[in-house]
Amino acid sequence: GAVVSQHPSRVICKSGTSVKIECRSLDFQATTMFWYRQFPKQSLMLMATSNEGSKATYEQGVEKDKFLINHASLTLSTLTVTSAHPEDSSFYICSAKPLRNSNQPQHFGDGTRLSIL
Amino acid sequence: KQEVTQIPAALSVPEGENLVLNCSFTDSAIYNLQWFRQDPGKGLTSLLLIQSSQREQTSGRLNASLDKSSGRSTLYIAASQPGDSATYLCAVLEGGGADGLTFGKGTHLIIQP
């Protein structure tokens, strides 16, 4: 089955640090990848849609200069949390979709637990 | 804006019982609906996906139904086992299927041995 690898699984770092999270589709090409965030006891919220070769589309209230997304290839999207602060501590999870506008489901990575001290 | 609600928020039942988890969504113009399982601190495991034209999907002891017009879906778990303990998430996909998913907050399920 389709596998999405997300790395790292856990990050603990000091306030002001920039953190990069990678999302890779291992056995399929993904023209579209999604980044979600989940705060404790809350639902997963879509942050942005990452399209290969073009700029990401951000959801309302998500700062594009804070959360940099790069989707340079059909198998890799990266999310960089710039100058992270304690309020950015959350569970970040990506998903990848093989084809745009297809009936195929999104496949999720295992998530990244980010803790900013 | 689409909103997804899951009831109950938490559920604890003895092993062996059959149970139903509920999901409702405010905008019936969905592309599909998906049920996921999330274990503590882990990612998502897709359980069942129902296209908007379908009424139900089955996988093993799991059965999911979809009533698109009323904005409701149920996940039925038969003969529950302690290994079924997890948080179950309902998510809908809108638009032409190119958008991200809208999730509910989940139902935290505990199956007592």
- The answer to whether A62 contacts chain B (CB < 8 Å) is no
Out of A29-38, A93-102, B3-12, which region has the weakest mean confidence (pLDDT)? A93-102
B89 with A100: Cβ contact below 8 A: no
Q: Which residue has the tokens 């909103």?
A: B3
CB contact under 8 A, B100 and A93: no
Candidates A46, A110, A113; nearest CB to B101: A46
B100/A111 Cβ within 8 A: no
| Tokens 């698109």 belong to residue | B68
How many other CB atoms are there within 10 angstroms of residue A59's CB atom? 14
In this prediction, residue A40 carries a pLDDT of: 86
A 10 A CB-CB count for B41 gives: 11
pLDDT for B95 beyond 90: no
Please check whether residue A83 is in contact with residue A97, taking contact to mean a CB–CB distance below 8 angstroms.
no
pLDDT, one tens digit per residue, over B2-61 is: 999 999 999 999 999 999 999 999 999 999 999 999 998 888 999 999 999 999 999 999
pLDDT tier for residue A90 given thresholds of 50, 70 and 90: very high
Residue A68: per-residue pLDDT: 96
Check residue A1 and give its pLDDT.
63
A87 Rama class: left (phi>0) / alpha (psi -120 to 50) / beta: alpha
